[in-house]
Each structure stands twice: as structure tokens, then as C-alpha cells.
Chains A and B, each alone.
Chain A
Amino acid sequence: MPLLELKDVSLDYGPIRAVDRASISVEPGEVVAIIGGNGAGKSTLLKGVSGLLTPSEGSILFDGQDISRLPPHQRVARGIAMSPEGRQVFPDQTVHDNLVLGAYARGLSDKALTAAIDEQFDLFPRLRERRDQPAVTLSGGEQQMLAMARALMASPRLLLLDEPSLGLAPLIVRDIFQIIRSLRERQITILLVEQMATMALKAAHRAYVLETGRITLTGTGAELLNDPKVRAAYLGVAHDAA
């Protein structure tokens, strides 16, 4: 049974339909990427999964149960955590306190909380050095790491990553994808949204292409990397060069 299943899900902003009858599934332990251009509806789709938007049609199943109408905090309690687009770390709170908030739903003892934070510091050593700095003083790459670490603090069964590479220098992007690969090795289930299609397809088991709100193509990461249409549209490679 898939861990996450979207069945013909439509998501609207008032009269504007941003996602139109999308169906996707994510198996336990899988890394699934969603690629697509600006305004394709990628972030909207993730908002539907995390509960920031309620679908106007279709259903979202998590572990076989319909969570379409649950508010975000109850979805976190069930094991869905998100690193949102643009990082959205709590700017006036320290790195440490951001991580504490990430584990809000778990009700950990002080000892367990310290251990969980240490675990994140092992994965993101640069955050350890910045432990007591307000998040606003971090660089963009560090903020992205904090956003991911904060989501991992929930010990999620499904991790949603919205454009972790956004606005970062190529070297930092490589670091971020290195971490995504290490999460993949640890069997963490990830739904990843990216414009950096090559990187995302290489990191993912499977992927979907989203175009103006509709899923138009799906396949394994390798299949899509070699698909002429994908190469032309998203990988910056012309048809004849393929």
C-alpha cells in the first residue's frame, strides 16, 4: 500500500484552479520528485498534502486513511512534515529554538529532545556552530538546512521538500542534494518539488511532471532524464542534441 496517495485532487485559490485532478502516489522508502516550471502548481500540490490548502475535489490518503479534511497540525501528528518554499525559518528565534519547534508535536522529554537535536547537528554540522544565533542571521544555505532539519525534528514518515535549491549557489545546492541522498539511504520517504530537474531526477526513484496544474508524465528518475520532451523542456537540452 502506498504511504501517500492523491486521487484526482484539485486545489483552488478562490476561482483560480492551480492543480487539476492530479493523481500521484508515494511508496514507503521512496523518493519521489515533482518537476515543472514556474507556476505549474508544484507548491500548491505540497500545500494540499500538508493541509495548508483543502482540496476542492478528490481525496488524499495517508497510510490508507483519508486526511483530505484534516488541519495541518493533525497531519504533522500523523507523520507529515514539510520544509516550505522559501525556507520560512522563524527569523527571531535561535537555531536551537527552531529545532525545538520542529518537534512540537512529539512532546519529547528534555533528554530525548536534546538527543534529537544532536542527531540533526550530526547531519548538518554547520547548524551546530550556529546553535544560539537567531535564524535571520544565517546564510541562505544554512537557513535551508535549518528548514530541513526542523522538518526532520518531527521524525516524519513523509518529508515534503519544496524547492530546497531555491536561490542557492551551485556548491550549496550540491550539499543539499548530498543530504537528500543520505536521507534516501536512510529509507526516509520524501516528496520533493524542484525546478532543478536534473538534480531532482537523479536523486529520486520516481518522478512526475506537472504542467499548468496537470500531471502530464511520470516514470522513474532515469526514464525522465532520458525523455526527449523532458530534456527539451526542463533540462535545457534541445531535441536534436538529445
Chain B
Amino acid sequence: MSATYLQALLSGLSVGGIYALIALSFSITFTTTKTLNFSQGEFVSFGAFVGLSVLLLLSGTFDFNAVPADASAGLKFPAAVVTAGVLVGVVGIFIFLLAVRPFAGKPGMSWVMSTIGFGIILQSLGLVVWGPAVVNVPAPFGEGVIRIFGAGVRSQELVVLVSAIVIMLVFDQIMRRSLLGKAMRAVAFSPQVASLMGINVTLVMVGAFVMSGVLAGFAGVMVAPISTASLFMGLGFSLKAFAGAIIGGLNNPRGCIFGGFMLGVIESFVGLWHSEWREISVFVLIILVLAVRPDGLFGARTVDKV
């Protein structure tokens, strides 16, 4: 009995790790530019397909209907992860320059349409290159189930969980200790005051979009072996991740991470009971949290004293 709960907990934490990564990617660009990237979901899908393409190319094929079982073996999967992170990071530069910078900080919400439009273009380009297929992506450590205290967990779930935690710890340290992190927090407080420190605010914003893209692309490749890959996969993940970010507090990176994990776990436990209640429970939770704390659990005026 308790093995069932442990299993639900681990799977919940694993998909929660993906939500947390994407929630963080929302938060980074929101805090620095006060805009939301509504094409974050397409970034996730794009990352998955860039990764998948690398896996196939390294396996000497480009046939999405016949992905070899060993396509993710050895160093191929890490190569796919890195390539997807880099390419989606570069896409982040483009969305900033074309869809965000012209509108950020100006009255009106043109960036809503421009980032949605950018996502539609990205998805259409993806459909031209890769088509609408749903593709099974082999996991780097195989499909076997690992037993932990009786709970059965898929290897990729553990890989996702561990790597998400590592990435978020690294990110947290960068934000707290490095000069870049301090500069990003300064820009988040006020781009004008940051510029008075000699900080090139535009460059920091570009950096934020690159980091955000890297996280989204990374999340896409990592989750593909669990969820299957399709160009439409990103939307669901990004909606949940956004919900997690709202629950935790969009302007608090640690809060976003917490919110992402929490959502994954709640979803997983509700799924044990009645899977059709999963989505409902998530959104009821959001409404409840926002009713009590409009800025999320850790949002806005809660000052981080760490």
C-alpha cells in the first residue's frame, strides 16, 4: 500500500521537476522584463524535437516512425540535451529581439500577441520540418522499472528528478553568488536603477531569455522519453508550469520551483484516486491559493533574507 504512495510521490516529483524547470523559465524572463513568454510551451516542444533529431542523426537515420531502441544510448542522449539547450537558448535571443524588446516596458500588452505569434510561427516551422507525429523516444537507461522500497519507478523519472534538482541548485547559486545573478536581480528590481550601476540592461535581458530558453529546451528533451514527443506536448506542460509559478509566486524563483514540484505531486496523488479529477484539482488549488494570497505563496513582498 505505502509502495503505491511512494511510487505516486516519486512520479509526482519527477513531472513536478519538469514543471519547476519550466516555471523557472517563466519566472526568469518575467522578473527581468515584466513580460510573459507565451511561447514557452513551443520552446519545450521545439527542444524535444531538436533533441530527438540529434538522437536520430547520431543513430544514422531520420525516420521518426522507426526510432531505434538504442537511439538514446551512451553519449547520444547527453549530446541531444546539450544541443537542444543551446538551440532553444538561441531561439530565446530571437524572441527577445523580435517579440519582446520592441514592446517591453511600454504601455499596452502588445507582447502578449507578439509572443503568442512567435510561438505559432515556431510550431508551424516545426510541423514543416518534423510533421505532426507523436514519437516514442527511448530512455537513455532503458524502459526497465527500478524498485525502490517496493515502488516501481521508471529510470527516466529518476534521471529527470535528479537533473532537475541539480540544475535548479546551480541556478540558485548563480543568482545568489555570481555578479551576473546580482545584476539580474538588480534589473528585476528596476532596470533604470540597474543601468545606473553601469549594467547593460538589454544584455542582461538577452541573457535572461537565453537562460529561459535553455531551461525550456532542456525540459523538453528530458521529459520526452516519459511523455512521448509531439509538437503539441509543450502546451500542457507549460500551462501546468505556469500554474506552478503562479502558486509559488512568479517573481520568486524559489517559490516557482516549489510550486512546480507541489503541482506535480498533487496531480500524481489525485490521479491515484480519480484521474479525471487531476486537472480540476490543479485549477481549484490555484484559485484557492490566489484567493488567499494574490501574489502566490512566496510572491511579491515576501523578502528573501537568505
Do A and B interact?
yes
Which residue numbers of A lie inside 8 Å of B, CB to CB? 50-52, 71-73, 76-77, 81-82, 84, 88, 90-93, 97, 100-102, 104-106, 134, 136-137, 150-151, 154
Q: A92-B189, A104-B183 are in contact. Are A82 and B303 (CB under 8 A)?
A: no
Q: Is the interface of B mostly helix, strand, loop or mixed?
A: helix
Q: Which of B183, B193, B201, B304 contacts A92 (CB 8 A)?
A: B304
CA A151 to CA B190, docked complex, whole Å: 16
Contact residues in B for A150 (Cβ distance below 8 Å): 197
> Are B196 and A50 interface neighbours, CB within 8 A?
yes
Q: Given A52-B195, A81-B196, output 4 extra A-B contacts at Cβ < 8 Å.
A: A92-B303, A101-B199, A105-B199, A136-B303
Give the size of the chain B interface in residues (CB under 8 angstroms). Answer: 20
Q: A77-B198, A136-B303 are in contact. Are A52 and B192 (CB under 8 A)?
A: yes
Q: Which of A51, A91, A102, A134 contacts B197 (CB 8 A)?
A: A102
Q: Indicate if B106 sits at the interface (CB-CB under 8 A).
A: no
Contact residues in B for A84 (Cβ distance below 8 Å): 193, 196
> Are B185 and A90 interface neighbours, CB within 8 A?
yes
Q: Which of B189, B195, B198 contacts A90 (CB 8 A)?
A: B189
Q: Indicate if B182 sits at the interface (CB-CB under 8 A).
A: yes
Q: Indicate if B305 sits at the interface (CB-CB under 8 A).
A: yes
Q: Indicate if B292 sits at the interface (CB-CB under 8 A).
A: no
Which residue numbers of B lie inside 8 Å of A, CB to CB? 179, 182-183, 185-186, 189-190, 192-201, 303-305
A to B contact number (C-beta, < 8 Å): 68
Q: Is the interface of A mostly helix, strand, loop or mixed?
A: helix
CA A161 to CA B182, docked complex, whole Å: 23
> Are B179 and A73 interface neighbours, CB within 8 A?
no
- A to B CB contacts below 8 Å, 19 in the list: A52-B195, A71-B195, A73-B197, A73-B199, A73-B200, A76-B195, A82-B196, A84-B193, A88-B190, A90-B185, A91-B189, A92-B303, A92-B304, A93-B186, A97-B182, A101-B183, A105-B199, A134-B304, A151-B196
Chain B nearest Cβ from A178, distance in angstroms: 24
Chain B nearest Cβ from A90, distance in angstroms: 5
> Are B195 and A101 interface neighbours, CB within 8 A?
no
CA A105 to CA B196, docked complex, whole Å: 10
